[in-house]
């Protein structure tokens, strides 16, 4: 039945989520009319909300197969985004995700090269008819999610987005958004060869890169890349920070950095970047077992990070048994904590395994990680916090087990092997008693 009158909205509508549109690859024209009548109702909801300023966030969650791409594009090009009331002007946060998956049960396999080409054609169609329309207020999230349905596809074979494959009008759309005064946050995922003129936006304050790569020449030759950047988050995008270390400008406004150290090269680039961020307050580091030994003692110190108040360090270790000549990851953590730290207020230390454990190897790893709770290590933490004592210290241990083996691991491990060390942890010195500690031990079933 066609929608003659839009439904009434609640008074406190903060977020509107469009989750799914029916897939009608073989539907009749009448069915398509009904489908887009429902979309029209959604459009009325948009208009009613926007005119009364009842919401600021819209999330569109859709994972179309290739056969559903046409309907997906029709929805994006419908009057939801292009009507004369200017709905998009009121939207402050728009998250748009496009996913290409393998066929379900039909044996269809998309070669990585074809996946990339399919994504290019989808986005090319989205922005072909009206490339200048506004679809975002102050946040743009561009992501090409590659979902693998079966283990036969190797994630390492999936290639990211190459902007040279896209039409110039699409690049122009994003360029206009990046240079607009409203856009403050940019999220790039699986993207490469990003145009140089995107780097000069003076409004972007938050940048998140997920496996997005810049060439060294892009940032080196840029006069002032991201001059107003305050928050930088990176996952497997180490080439960007290495290039940033060679940039000509300082990042005086940067307050938070989330970074993964995978090699000595990454650690060296990190030390150069933090020297360009004199007001950095929050630092989140992800350190793998293969790179922990390459991190020099004292690479975090009060000279390079004088304003640092919050530090989170996540140490990942494998499930394989430690060799005799291999130092436990907890010992590397203690070495890092022995540096001349700035006066921290918050310290969060996380140990986690990135593979599935058996109960025996989990027990061995717990023993190694609890070395951080040794009295000498706790004394290091107390001395490190001077002259301002820590107000929040969290030691967290994440253990990933197979679901069938979780019950075999939980009983007795923390009682027998952890109770003694936890007792020492809370009774080291008088200074320690004046500091609030929180110990979290999490068992993740898998």
| 3-state SS, residue 5 | coil
- pLDDT for the residue numbered 256: 93
Q: What confidence tens digit (pLDDT) does each residue in 276-307 have? A: 888 899 999 888 766 666 676 677 778 888 88
The CB density around residue 424, as the number of other CB atoms within 10 Å, is: 15
Q: Is residue 252 very low, low, confident or very high in pLDDT (cuts 50, 70, 90)?
A: confident
Q: Are 78 and 120 in contact (CB under 8 A)?
A: no
Measured between alpha carbons, how far is 327 from 297 in angstroms, rounded to an integer?
Answer: 15
Buried b (16+ CB within 10 A) or exposed e, 226-241: bbebbbbbbeebbbbb
Considering 82-96, 151-165, 378-392, the range whose residues carry the highest mean pLDDT is 378-392
Assess whether pLDDT exceeds 50 at residue 21: no
Q: What confidence tens digit (pLDDT) does each residue in 204-243 have? A: 788 877 766 666 565 555 556 777 888 888 776 666 777 7
Q: Are 222 and 190 in contact (CB under 8 A)?
A: no
- For residues 352 and 304, which has the higher predicted lDDT (pLDDT)? 304
Alpha-helical (H) ranges within 179-278 are 216-220, 238-244, 264-274
- pLDDT for the residue numbered 368: 60
Q: Is residue 154 very low, low, confident or very high in pLDDT (cuts 50, 70, 90)?
A: very low
Measured between alpha carbons, how far is 237 from 189 in angstroms, rounded to an integer?
Answer: 10
Assess whether pLDDT exceeds 90 at residue 445: no
- For residues 189 and 161, which has the higher predicted lDDT (pLDDT)? 189
* Every domain of the chain and the residues it spans: 281-446
Buried b (16+ CB within 10 A) or exposed e, 299-310: ebeeebbeebbe
- pLDDT for the residue numbered 229: 85
Assess whether pLDDT exceeds 60 at residue 310: yes
- pLDDT for the residue numbered 375: 60
- The number of helices, as runs of H, and strands, as runs of E, in the chain is 16, 15
Average pLDDT over residues 14-31: 43
């Amino acid at each position: 039945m066609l929608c003659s009158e839009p439904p009434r909205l609640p008074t406190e509508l903060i977020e509107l989520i469009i989750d799914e549109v029916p897939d009608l690859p073989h539907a009749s024209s009448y069915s398509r009319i009904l489908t887009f009548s429902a979309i029209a109702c959604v459009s009325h909801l948009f208009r009613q909300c926007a005119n009364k300023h009842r919401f600021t966030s819209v999330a569109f969650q859709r994972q179309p197969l290739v056969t559903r791409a046409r309907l997906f594009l029709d929805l994006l090009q419908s009057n939801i985004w292009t009507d004369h009331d200017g709905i998009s002007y009121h939207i402050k946060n728009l998250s748009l995700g496009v996913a290409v998956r393998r066929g379900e049960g039909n044996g269809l396999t998309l070669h990585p090269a074809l996946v990339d080409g399919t994504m290019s054609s989808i986005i090319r169609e989205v922005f072909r008819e009206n490339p200048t329309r506004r679809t975002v207020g102050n946040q743009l999230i561009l992501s090409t999610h590659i979902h693998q349905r079966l283990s036969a596809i190797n994630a390492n074979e999936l290639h990211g987005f190459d902007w040279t494959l896209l039409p110039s009008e699409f690049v122009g759309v994003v360029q206009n958004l990046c240079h607009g005064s409203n856009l403050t946050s940019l999220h790039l995922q699986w993207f490469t060869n990003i145009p140089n003129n995107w780097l000069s936006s003076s409004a972007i304050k938050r940048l998140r890169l997920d496996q997005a790569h810049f060439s060294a020449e892009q940032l080196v030759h840029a006069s002032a890349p991201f001059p107003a950047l305050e928050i930088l988050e990176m996952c497997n995008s180490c080439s960007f920070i290495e290039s940033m270390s060679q940039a000509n400008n300082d990042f005086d406004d940067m307050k938070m950095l989330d970074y993964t150290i995978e090699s000595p090269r990454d650690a060296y680039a990190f030390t150069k970047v933090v020297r360009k961020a004199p007001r950095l307050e929050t630092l989140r580091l992800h350190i793998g077992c293969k790179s922990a030994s390459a991190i020099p003692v004292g690479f975090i110190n009060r000279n390079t990070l004088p304003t640092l108040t919050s530090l989170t360090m996540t140490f990942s270790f494998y499930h394989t048994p430690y060799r005799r000549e291999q130092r436990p990851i907890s010992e590397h953590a203690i070495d890092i904590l022995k540096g001349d730290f700035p006066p921290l207020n918050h310290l969060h230390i996380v140990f986690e395994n990135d593979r599935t454990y058996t109960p025996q190897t989990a027990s061995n790893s717990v023993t190694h990680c609890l070395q951080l709770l040794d009295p000498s290590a706790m004394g290091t933490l107390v001395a490190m916090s001077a002259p301002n004592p820590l107000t929040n210290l969290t030691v967290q241990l994440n253990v990933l087990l197979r679901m069938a083996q979780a019950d075999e691991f939980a009983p007795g491990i923390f009682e027998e092997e952890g109770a003694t060390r936890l007792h020492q942890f809370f009774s080291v010195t008088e200074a320690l008693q004046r500091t609030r500690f929180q110990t979290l031990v999490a068992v993740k079933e898998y």
